[in-house]
């Protein structure tokens, strides 16, 4: 079995040994090519409630909801946005460059302490922090534009 994402029971029980070098985003189950809906290999994660995420691990916030919007409209509305283009390219560490988060800041924001008190650092943590601190208003604005 490969490295475990820092989510769910793996996070709760301290089982994820993934490091900053383990880029889950640069895999098919990650955000790689999620915007390329016209081509094979484009994948998103859809929850039973209709929430859409660019990767299986799920970003901190959904990019849209299929109850209220069409999937292609959601994806097209994010094309050209530097954040989602970085995820699409498999480089989440670049997602904040247009917002003043260089790769060094992203790496620093990728640090956390596990429930067991151990230091931990992975790009998924940085992505969560960027969503919390920067993206919430951008996602809301994109939803409004799609209405």
pLDDT digits (tens, 9 = 90+) for 26-65: 988 889 999 999 998 899 999 999 999 999 888 989 999 9
pTM above 0.75?
yes
Residue 139's pLDDT is 80
- Position 1 scores a pLDDT of 63
Q: How many CA atoms lie within 13 A of 127 on its CB side?
A: 29
* pLDDT score recorded for residue 97: 97
Q: Which residues of the chain have pLDDT under 50?
A: none
Secondary structure of 11-64 in HEC code, one letter for each residue: HHCCCCCCCCCCCHHHCCCCCCCCCCCCCCCCCCEECCCCEEECCCCCCCCCCE
pLDDT (0 to 100) of residue 53: 96
Q: Could you tell me which of 142, 131, 114 has the C-alpha nearest to residue 57? A: 131
């Amino acid at each position: 079995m490969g490295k475990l994402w820092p989510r769910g029971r793996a996070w709760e029980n301290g089982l994820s040994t993934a490091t900053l070098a383990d880029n889950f985003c640069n895999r098919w189950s990650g955000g790689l090519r999620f915007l390329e809906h016209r081509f094979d290999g484009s994948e998103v994660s859809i929850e039973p409630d209709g929430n859409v995420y660019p990767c299986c691990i799920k970003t901190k916030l959904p990019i849209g909801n299929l109850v209220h919007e069409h999937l292609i409209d959601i994806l097209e509305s994010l094309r050209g946005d530097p954040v989602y283009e970085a995820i699409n390219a498999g480089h989440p560490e670049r997602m904040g460059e247009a917002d003043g988060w260089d790769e060094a800041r992203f790496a620093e924001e990728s640090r956390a302490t596990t429930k067991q008190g151990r230091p931990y650092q992975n790009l998924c943590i940085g992505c969560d922090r960027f969503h919390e601190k920067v993206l919430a208003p951008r996602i809301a604005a994109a939803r409004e534009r799609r209405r």
